[in-house]
Amino acid sequence: MVCKELGPLDNVVVEERATPVPGPGQVVVDVRAAGVNYVDGLICQGRYQMKPAVPFVPGGEIAGVVSAVGDGVTRVGVGDRVMAMTGFGAFAEQVTVAVSALDSVPDALGFSQAAAFIQSYCTAWFALARRITVSEGEWVLVLGAGGGIGLAAVDVALELGARVVAAASSAEKLEAARRMGAHATVEYESEDLKSRVRELTDGGVDVVVDPVGGGHSEPALRATKSFGRFCVIGFASGPIASVPLNQVLLNNRTVVGVDWGAWAMGDPDGHRAMVDELIEMVQSGRLHPVEPAERPLDQAAEVMGALLDRTVTGKVVLVP
Ligand SMILES: NC(=O)c1ccc[n+]([C@@H]2O[C@H](COP(=O)([O-])OP(=O)(O)OC[C@H]3O[C@@H](n4cnc5c(N)ncnc54)[C@H](OP(=O)(O)O)[C@@H]3O)[C@@H](O)[C@H]2O)c1
């Protein structure tokens, strides 16, 4: 799938390309599933801070089987099940990847789960176990809890021993969060987020995970109690909230920025160790990535559009 021009998503079209040949230190992966993330649609629309030169193949996350290896590659071989963040190039039948970017697909995961794992779980874990520490028994409020980051954050918070309030816009998304194990739910488009969360948690939450932004951020901050921590993860609703700083001062709250991607690029060894830690937790049954919906590769534009239109619950992968 090639993005010919930044702008409307129907600029993303099918194109035939020659089979790639791996260079030194690279492998070619036959893609079995490519994870679609919110950011992919923003990039193709030209609404993301990074604007790639066109034409380019969008998509940044894959799982598949190694079909060719370049010179000097010893860590993996043809036939190995691998997953990777690729930067670009994922919405294709084959992609060339630096061997340093590959991880083995854990036996516990199918290709579709693996292709939707790294971005969501790394972000959630980086937020709740690296940028802050969540203690056993604390209340964690997750906004957009039926989305990719949201469901991963519910899972991670539960693994850390927290109790979770899931907030989302539909019964279907809240049900997905409940299936993941959330203790309580708030439908934040029709219920008053701040007062409902305070009621459900006997006075407020200890931590907020916010990948949504907009009008939900301030009521969520106001729903945190003494020494509460508010994790700023993203702005899927569009507007970047401005909160009155007295709401940070009151109750000794802390607002924490979470930029997993920048950290991962700046500390590749630390990131690799974190991915290994997450894979180990999946293997031992401590984390439970959702089973994504599978759609044909040539529906890339529709799926990116559905994420931007807020109609997706959980994760979607493209299957060549
Ligand atoms: N900080 C980091 O390191 C990091 C890493 C990866 C991604 N992100 C960012 O985190 C955000 C969420 O990513 P994601 O993968 O979880 O996306 P997602 O699966 O599409 O989920 C986003 C959720 O946001 C909510 N939302 C509210 N208003 C929306 C609107 N107008 N349009 C679309 N969604 C809306 C939706 O839930 P409701 O309908 O229930 O409100 C949706 O489920 C994105 O902005 C992404 O760029 C940040």
Task: Provide the β-strand partners of residue 152.
Answer: none
User: Is residue 33 situated within a structural domain?
Assistant: yes
Residue 275: inside a domain: no
Is there a single domain that holds both residue 252 and residue 299?
Answer: no
Residue 285 lies in a domain: no
Closest ligand 1 atom, residue 126 Cα: 3
Report if residue 69 sits inside a domain: yes
Separation CA 174–CA 180 (nearest Å): 10
User: What pLDDT, on a 0 to 100 scale, did the predictor assign at position 202?
Assistant: 84
158/207 same-domain check: yes
Under 8 Å between Cβ of 29 and 84:
yes
In a domain, 169, yes or no: yes
Write down the mean pLDDT value for the chain: 97
Share of the chain above pLDDT 70, in %: 100
Q: Which residues does 119 contact at the CB level (< 8 Å), separation at least 6?
A: 35, 37, 60, 61, 85, 148, 260
Closest CA to 201 of 231, 162, 230: 162
Task: Report if residue 84 sits inside a domain.
Answer: yes
Is the pLDDT score of 241 beyond 90?
yes
Q: What is the pLDDT of residue 19?
A: 94
Q: Classify residue 269: in a domain, yes or no.
A: no
Which residues are near ligand 1 (CB < 6 Å)? 37-39, 119, 123, 144, 146-150, 168-169, 173, 211-212, 233-238, 258-261, 307-308, 310, 312
Give me the domain span that covers residue 130.
Answer: 119-261
pLDDT above 90 (res 311)? yes
**CB neighbour list of residue 283: distance below 8 Å, 6 or more residues apart:** 106, 107, 108
CA nearest to 125, candidates 105, 99, 152? 152
> Residue type for 129, please?
A
Looking at the 3D structure of the chain, how many domains does it have?
2
Q: Give the CATH number of the domain where residue 62 resides.
A: 3.90.180.10
Distance CA 29, CA 98 (A): 10
Which pTM does this prediction carry? 0.97
CATH of the domain at 126: 3.40.50.720
Nearest alpha carbon to residue 82 among 51, 114, 55, 56: 114
Structure tokens at 75: 């860590």
The answer, yes or no, to whether residue 221 has pLDDT greater than 90, is: yes
For a mutational test of ligand 1's pocket, the pick from 47, 49, 126, 149, i.e. the residue with the most ligand atoms closer than 8 A to its C-beta, is: 149
- Same domain, residue pair 15 and 94: yes
Q: Using one digit for the tens of pLDDT, what is the confidence trace for 17-60?
A: 999 999 999 999 999 999 999 999 999 999 998 999 999 999 99
Assigned domain for 284 exists: no
Write out pLDDT tens, residues 3-20.
999 999 999 999 999 999
The pLDDT > 90 percentage for the chain reads 99
Look at residues 214, 244, 261 and tell me which one is the last residue of a structural domain: 261
Q: Helices (DSSP H) in the chain: which residue ranges?
A: 38-45, 111-115, 118-125, 148-159, 171-180, 193-200, 217-222, 246-249, 260-266, 268-283, 300-308
